[in-house]
């Protein structure tokens, strides 16, 4: 049956409806989703608040925080006691993205002033920012129990606007895809790959009590980012786990994502596609844990089995994917909340063994 997507229909659509339309190739790319700014979901409202606060900040406020490193400043936005630790949010000027960025960070409390903690960075999916993981999963309990610093990264540069950056919820300010754009005008600010792989870890390492050992967890779009960033930077990220990851986005996002950010060179696309990267990986042995909801409404284009197959076909036999299908679970943060404890325990064990 043919479905016509009209502006009136979009006004009534939620995120899940939109993603289903995209996955079925019935979503017109020229339809501007002004409804994305009007829907009252936590994802959208919190993202828009960050955009607005960043865009309204005077330039002097960028320099009003704690010095972090060459040309970078760290400004506290939120600090609250949570269980046996502190949940914080910081803002800083990103040299990679050339704009203001925020990240959340949970730091366990300790009586030992010299104690150091391993770090796990969580990469979220589309239409999210650093707030979603912080507010929706209850991870703080398990981070406290495992003595882990857990960082929630943002998904796109903030406080910048370009024509077309609101056209679809899987592109632009809703989704930076953790890549480094090569095409104008996106290459001025959309450098999330370098931000996550270099700048953010340096900020965390220089300003918080870390062991220097990092792991990555990714959900949805963030799962693709975790594989790409983790396997391309194995000396930085020692373990990777995934929750309902997007595993082969070049198979469906050619026009919607990759050609816009990276141009026509499909070899460049492969550098930011999890299935392509895992198939060609040649580095230290990695065992990637992947949890996938059996009732995930996006399963047909997340393609977790394809990621597992590409790992099995890795010519260097140095990476595996442990795919766990979790029956009854969908794609939401309820699913993430159900399994985040297992993932943090996994990271704790791997990072402990790595640092020995």
Based on the residue annotation, tell me whether 331 is a catalytic residue of this protein.
Answer: yes
**Active-site position among 92, 93, 219, 331:** 331
Our answer to whether residue 347 is catalytic in this structure is no
Q: Rounded to an integer, what is the distance from CA 154 to the centroid of its chain?
A: 7
User: What is the Cα–Cα distance from 208 to 27, expressed in whole angstroms?
Assistant: 44
Catalytic residue among 154, 246, 296, 343: 296
User: The tokens of 115 are what?
Assistant: 């104690």
Of 228, 169, 166, 159, the C-alpha closest to 193 is 228
> Both tokens of residue 47?
């993202």
Instruction: Region of 172 please: left (phi>0), alpha (psi -120 to 50) or beta.
Output: left
With residue 228 as reference, give the H or E element that holds it. helix 221-232
* DSSP class of 156: S
Identify any residues that bridge with 81 across adjacent strands, giving them in sequence order.
86
Active site residue 194: no
Residue-wise DSSP of 245-281: E---GGGT-IIIIIHHHHTT-HHHHHTT-HHHHHHH-
Catalytic residue among 220, 275, 291, 343: 220
Helices H, strands E: what count in the chain?
14, 10
Residues labelled catalytic: 220, 296, 331
């Amino acid at each position: 049956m043919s479905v016509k997507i009209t502006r009136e229909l979009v006004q009534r659509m939620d995120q899940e409806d939109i993603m289903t339309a995209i996955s079925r190739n019935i979503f017109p790319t020229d339809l501007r989703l002004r409804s994305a700014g009007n829907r009252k979901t936590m994802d959208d409202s919190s993202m828009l608040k960050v955009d607005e606060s960043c865009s309204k900040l005077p330039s002097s406020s960028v320099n009003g925080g704690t010095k972090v490193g060459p040309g970078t400043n760290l400004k506290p936005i939120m600090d609250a006691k949570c269980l046996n630790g502190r949940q914080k949010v910081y803002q800083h000027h990103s040299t990679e993205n050339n704009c203001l960025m925020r990240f959340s960070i949970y730091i366990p409390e300790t009586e030992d002033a010299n104690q150091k903690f391993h770090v796990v960075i969580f990469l979220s999916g589309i239409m999210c920012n650093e707030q979603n993981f912080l507010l929706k999963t209850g991870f703080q309990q398990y981070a406290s129990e495992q003595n882990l610093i857990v960082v929630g990264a943002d998904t796109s540069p903030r406080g910048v606007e370009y024509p077309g950056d609101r056209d679809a919820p899987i592109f632009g300010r809703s989704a930076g895809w953790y890549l480094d754009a090569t095409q104008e005008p996106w290459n001025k600010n959309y450098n999330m790959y370098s931000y996550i792989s270099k700048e953010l870890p340096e900020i965390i390492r220089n300003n918080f009590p870390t062991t220097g050992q990092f792991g990555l967890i990714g959900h949805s779009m963030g799962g693709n980012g975790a594989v790409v960033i983790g396997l391309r930077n194995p000396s930085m990220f020692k373990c990777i786990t995934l929750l309902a990851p997007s595993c082969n986005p070049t198979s469906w996002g050619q026009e919607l994502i990759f050609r816009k950010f990276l141009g026509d060179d499909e070899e460049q696309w492969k550098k930011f596609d999890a299935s392509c990267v895992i198939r060609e990986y040649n580095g230290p042995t990695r065992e990637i844990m992947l949890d996938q909801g059996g009732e995930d409404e996006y399963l047909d284009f997340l393609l977790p089995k394809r990621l597992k197959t590409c790992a099995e076909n890795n010519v260097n036999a140095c990476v595996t994917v442990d795919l766990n299908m979790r029956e009854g679970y969908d794609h939401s943060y309820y699913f993430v909340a159900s399994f985040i404890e297992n993932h943090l325990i996994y990271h704790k064990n791997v990072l402990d063994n790595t640092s020995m």
